[in-house]
């Protein structure tokens, strides 16, 4: 099996830029191809800023070394034909994913493999016509990938199991935290878990049980404190004297009762969405969203540092 020295980033918006930092920080050579005009000037400056923030946050110390490993390709051929792995992070549109996957396929070296950052499409919806589809899969990050390490590896029906295993190994080697799905499902694991929580949050809000602020507070100052270092199974394992099965015995009936109450109403009621949005805009005017995103990334850096 070839060592992975060079990674091609195809599409370098928010997510592709984070990926470039992940790989360069781990010592890989990174070659970026992005279709937009002035890509090198715009994206280069954004990556420099993100790396400087990492240094300021105490999460890395040699910005120069990271940046020296990143270069911009002349075109897609230049990025892909000399690489060992491709991380595709183009627009989330099925026609774009199909087209860009076929273009990558045409230049892919015989030993290299491909992961798409797609948030929602199964790989089988866009890799079907690729001749190298046995070496292609979804490698779904959380934004921004250089701060949030989780990655979901989702094979298509054609992905060779050893290629999915290689992707997992690569992710671990570059410091990400990999989850391997056995097969495709819309939303993968992360967004399905998030979806279950959002469904209940909207239902409680629509029915007027609590404000959006108090529902957010329940996660921020309650559930979420634990979730930064343990998942739902470990949480309940520690919350009953004899562990998980004991918890299920004590509280399983209560939870299945909730499921019965909610079966009819899993939609996000438009009126509740509008009201929750208005409540959020009172607390955070639209013009302040970007500043709050920077604050979020700063908080993420502090949590990542605390977890080390
Ligand atoms: N933003 C998130 O929270 C998030 C999280 C996880 C996964 N993703 C996924 O990552 C991917 C990228 O998302 P993003 O938020 O970075 O989007 P974005 O719009 O910020 O960036 C997309 C980039 O791809 C470039 N591009 C588009 N078509 C291209 C092509 N054919 N060849 C080369 N470059 C091309 C664009 O110029 C742009 O710079 C999407 O599939 C998205 O679903 C996003």
Decide: 93 in ligand 1 pocket, CB within 6 A. Answer: no
User: Which domains are seen in the chain, by residue range?
Assistant: 6-180 (3.40.50.720), 190-307 (1.10.1040.10)
The pLDDT value given to residue 120: 86
88 is catalytic: no
CA 24 – ligand 1 centroid, Å: 19
Decide: 164 in ligand 1 pocket, CB within 6 A. Answer: no
Atom 39 of ligand 1, residue of closest alpha carbon = 13
Instruction: Give, for ligand 1, the residue of 9, 10, 12, 13 to mutate: max count of ligand atoms closer than 8 Å to Cβ.
Output: 13
Alpha helices per DSSP H over the chain: 14-25, 39-56, 63-68, 76-80, 94-107, 161-173, 190-206, 212-218, 224-227, 232-238, 244-262, 270-283, 289-307
The pLDDT value given to residue 247: 95
Q: Could you read off the pLDDT of 203-256 as tens digits, one per residue?
A: 999 999 999 999 999 999 999 999 999 999 999 999 999 999 999 999 999 998
Atom of ligand 1 nearest to the CA of 15: 16
Cα dist from 243 to 95, 238, 240, whole Å: 48, 6, 5
The pLDDT value given to residue 32: 98
Task: Give the C-alpha separation, 292 to 253, whole Å.
Answer: 40
Task: Give the C-alpha separation, 249 to 233, whole Å.
Answer: 14
**Confidence grade of residue 308 (pLDDT, cut at 50, 70, 90):** confident
The pLDDT value given to residue 264: 55
Task: Give the C-alpha separation, 150 to 1, whole Å.
Answer: 25
Decide: 106 in ligand 1 pocket, CB within 6 A. Answer: no
Burial of 294 (0-12, 13-18, 19+ CB in 10 A): exposed
* pTM of the model as a whole: 0.94
What is the H or E stretch that residue 74 is in? none
Task: Give the C-alpha separation, 2 to 111, whole Å.
Answer: 7
CA 119 – ligand 1 centroid, Å: 10
Mean pLDDT of 145-153: 97
**Which of 88, 152, 163, 184 is flagged as catalytic?**
152
CB 117 within 8 A of CB 89: yes
């Amino acid at each position: 099996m070839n060592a992975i020295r060079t990674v091609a980033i195809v599409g370098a918006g928010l997510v592709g830029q984070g990926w470039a930092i992940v790989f360069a920080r781990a010592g890989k050579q990174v070659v970026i191809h992005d279709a937009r005009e002035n890509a090198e000037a715009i994206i280069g400056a954004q990556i420099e800023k993100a790396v400087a923030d990492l240094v300021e946050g105490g999460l890395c110390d040699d910005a120069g070394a990271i940046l020296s490993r990143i270069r911009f390709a002349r075109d897609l051929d230049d990025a892909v034909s000399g690489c060992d792995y491709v991380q595709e992070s183009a627009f989330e549109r099925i026609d774009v994913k199909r087209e860009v996957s076929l273009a990558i396929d045409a230049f892919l070296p015989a030993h290299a493999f491909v992961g798409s950052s797609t948030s929602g499409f199964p790989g089988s919806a866009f890799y079907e016509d690729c001749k190298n589809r046995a070496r292609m899969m979804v490698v779904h990050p959380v934004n921004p990938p250089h701060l949030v390490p989780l990655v979901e590896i989702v094979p298509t029906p054609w992905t060779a199991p050893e290629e999915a295993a290689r992707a997992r190994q690569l992710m671990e080697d570059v410091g990400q935290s990999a989850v391997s799905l056995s097969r495709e499902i819309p939303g993968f694991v992360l967004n399905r878990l998030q979806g279950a929580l959002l469904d209940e949050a909207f239902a409680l809000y629509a029915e007027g049980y609590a404000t959006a602020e108090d529902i957010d507070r329940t996660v921020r100052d309650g559930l979420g404190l634990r979730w930064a270092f343990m998942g739902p199974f470990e949480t309940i394992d520690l919350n009953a004297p004899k562990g998980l099965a004991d918890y299920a015995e004590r509280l399983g009936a209560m939870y299945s009762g909730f499921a019965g109450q909610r079966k009819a109403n899993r939609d996000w009621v438009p009126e509740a969405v509008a009201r929750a949005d208005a409540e959020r805009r009172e607390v955070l005017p639209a013009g302040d969203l970007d500043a709050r995103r920077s604050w979020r990334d700063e908080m993420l850096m502090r949590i990542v540092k605390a977890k080390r």
